[in-house]
Amino acid sequence: MDEQEASEENKLSQDYKELIISLPREKGWITPYLYLFQGFWHSSTEIQAISTFQNHFQAKDSDIVVASVPKSGTTWLKALTFAIVKRQYFPSLENHPLLVFNPHELVPPFEFVIYDETNWQVHELPKMPEPRLFGTHVPFTSLAKSIKESNSKIIYICRNLFDTFISTWAFVNKIMPEFFPALPLEEAFERYCKGIIGFGPSWNHILGYWRESIARPEKVLFLKYEDIKEDVVFNVKKIAEFLGYPFTEEEESSGAIKNIIKLCSFENMKELKVNKCGTMGKGRVVENKHFFRKAEIGDWVNYLSPSMVEKLSKIIEEKLSGSDLSFRVYDLNNCT
């Protein structure tokens, strides 16, 4: 066992060490290994956090869970959800929490904050004002049972997998521990195509929430990054209605929707001090600025070779076939 692996393993309790050893494993992107747990690839510390979450989390009917594939618009959707749902308490944009907190702090993730051994915020749960807002990258099948059985709501965001892959690869290379070698694009791509990425295979993650949104449309709202970009007003109204916080005509005419959109826009958020200079996490400290890169549709054209595009296109076509699900891969506004 090398030094990095040992340091990951040290964070685990004995029971989890035994579980982890029994799982299939592959080389990780920013951790020594990813392990196949309940059909998806996770780091060892994520598995411990997910299991604790599954065993202990008690959902309330008023809870809202922002779920996503990593690097598909989570930060944006968390900001929009917080601004929409909590607008009664923060009607003014001049002293809004989103101006001084990163969206991941306001909508904490189960697996990286609440049930993560290093950050451990379980004691905060009883203090959270309702509706409680949570984030997660955990696949639908691995969510705590009480979320599925309660009347809590889930809003899910995903993004075309070409941009999601590039966004992930760029992010990983920025937050990589110094002693870790840089991850070449080609190597990352091969692992991605095999589904070996944290919380992957990404297509199975997407299909899990997609199918649930069809079976229970009142429970899961399925959103695509590209659709929100194309018509953000329509989607903000849709999110508000789905969550049970619709905008009144008066709010609409007074510019409440436009204000929320502006507050949560990439251009605004990226320039805030908290997002330029702030950090998050205790174990692996991540600079908030890395959550804001380009926010474009189709940036992948600058990175992927024709053969890579062909390979990933075929995989996506095969994996999503029969699901009635497809993605826009170029920004139509920038197409000539």
Active site residues: 137
Nearer to ligand PPS, 44 or 75 (CB): 75
Are 21 and 31 within 8 A, CB to CB?
no
Work out whether 187 is an interface residue with ligand PPS (CB under 6 A).
Answer: no
- 21 has which bridge partners? none
Please state, in angstroms and rounded to a whole number, the distance separating the CA atoms of residues 216 and 305. Answer: 39
253, burial (CB in 10 Å: exposed 0-12, middle 13-18, buried 19+): exposed
Nearer to ligand PPS, 122 or 286 (CB): 286
H-helix or E-strand spanning residue 280: strand 279-280
Q: Least separation, in Å, of the C-beta of 15 and ligand PPS?
A: 29
Site track 87-106 with ligand PPS (rule: CB under 6 A), x = hit: --------------------
Q: What DSSP string runs through 118-150?
A: TT--GGGGGGSPSSPEEEE---GGGS-HHHHHS
Work out whether 282 is an interface residue with ligand PPS (CB under 6 A).
Answer: no
Candidates 12, 26, 70, 246; binder of ligand PPS (CB under 6 A) is: 70
Dihedral of the CA atoms 214, 216, 217, 220 (nearest 10)?
-100
Candidates 31, 43, 44, 72; binder of ligand PPS (CB under 6 A) is: 72
Site track 301-320 with ligand PPS (rule: CB under 6 A), x = hit: --------------------
* Total binding residues toward ligand PPS, as defined by CB under 6 A: 22
Please state, in angstroms and rounded to a whole number, the distance separating the CA atoms of residues 77 and 154. Answer: 12
Nearer to ligand PPS, 125 or 175 (CB): 175
Binding segment (CB under 6 A) for ligand PPS, from list 24-32, 85-93, 176-184, 289-297: 289-297
Work out whether 163 is an interface residue with ligand PPS (CB under 6 A).
Answer: yes
Are 287 and 279 within 8 A, CB to CB?
yes
Distances (CA, A) of 260 to 75, 112, 157: 14, 27, 18
Nearer to ligand PPS, 5 or 299 (CB): 299
> What is the DSSP code (8-state) at residue 291?
G
Candidates 12, 93, 170, 304; binder of ligand PPS (CB under 6 A) is: 170
- Site of interaction with ligand PPS (CB under 6 A): 68, 70-76, 79, 163, 167, 170, 264-266, 269, 291-295, 299
